[in-house]
Chains A and B, each alone.
Chain A
Amino acid sequence: DTAVSQTPKYLVTQMGNDKSIKCEQNLGHDTMYWYKQDSKKFLKIMFSYNNKELIINETVPNRFSPKSPDKAHLNLHINSLELGDSAVYFCASSRGFRTEAFFGQGTRLTVV
């Protein structure tokens, strides 16, 4: 069974649309994260959730919003998509902060 799963794997959409990327972990972890990997392959943290509370909210546009219906899920909603949002987005989870993180396979978002 996949420990951290993201859907969809690929997402192509037009500018201005609203889209969501789902993430689920079956590891019983308390902390989940969303990362954005830019064109230079550099990973930047966007959000992290610990026990359903947003702990870190980096300076990302408020068009991005994380939604955690329960401890096992952290979905990423993006409103009014822009060309610059095109990137690979990774979900991850860990038992807590400063513990080993397990990553999803990533979602390649292309905004056209």
Chain B
Amino acid sequence: KNEVEQSPQNLTAQEGEFITINCSYSVGISALHWLQQHPGGGIVSLFMLSSGKKKHGRLIATINIQEKHSSLHITASHPRDSAVYICAVNGDSNYQLIWGAGTKLIIKP
């Protein structure tokens, strides 16, 4: 079992839908990251969280430390949001980023 699990693995939705991607982890962490990998391969950092909630535009990320769970929400989804979204955590006991397998999101017009 991976230390960082994402769900769903694949998600296809219609433009305008509210999207939720989940990330659960089994280790103690100091921070959690959400990243976006574009179809062309480039990776962009979206959020870094250690508690609570952050919002950038149509993107919202939340984390519940007690439940070891984070969610990434996209409101009013658009085809340009189509990408792979990756959750990664900084463990307490080491400096590495532990990666989830990613969620492939496709937004249809």
Are both chains from one complex? yes
| Residue positions of A touching B, CB distance < 8 A | 40-45, 48, 55-56, 88, 90, 92, 97-103, 105-106, 108
Set of chain A residues within 8 Å of B43, measured between Cβ atoms: 90, 92, 103, 106
User: Does any Cβ of A come within 8 Å of B109's Cβ?
Assistant: no
Set of chain B residues within 8 Å of A99, measured between Cβ atoms: 31, 48
Q: Is the interface of B mostly helix, strand, loop or mixed?
A: strand
Q: With contacts A40-B101, A42-B101 known, is A105 near B95, CB below 8 A? A: no
B101 touches A56 (CB 8 A): no
Q: With contacts A98-B90, A103-B44 known, is A41 near B95, CB below 8 A? A: no
Residue in contact with A48 in the complex, picked from B35, B44, B95, CB distance below 8 Å = B95
Which of B33, B43, B102 has its CB near the most chain A CB atoms (within 10 A)?
B43
A111 to B73, CA, bound (A): 39
Residue in contact with A106 in the complex, picked from B42, B90, B94, CB distance below 8 Å = B42
Q: Is the interface of A mostly helix, strand, loop or mixed?
A: strand
Q: With contacts A48-B95, A98-B31 known, is A103 near B45, CB below 8 A? A: yes
- Which chain A residue has the least Cβ–Cβ distance from B100? A42
- Which chain B residue has the least Cβ–Cβ distance from A43? B99
B86 touches A43 (CB 8 A): yes
Q: Give chain A nearest CB distance to B105 CB in angstroms.
A: 13
A102 touches B45 (CB 8 A): yes
B99 touches A100 (CB 8 A): no
Q: Give chain A nearest CB distance to B73 CB in angstroms.
A: 19
- Which chain A residue has the least Cβ–Cβ distance from B94? A56
- Which chain B residue has the least Cβ–Cβ distance from A58? B96
B45 touches A41 (CB 8 A): no
B96 touches A45 (CB 8 A): yes
Q: Give chain A nearest CB distance to B102 CB in angstroms.
A: 6
What are the interface flags for B17-49 relative to A under an 8 Å C-beta threshold, 1 for contact and 0 otherwise?
A: 000000000000011010101001111110010
A92 to B97, CA, bound (A): 12
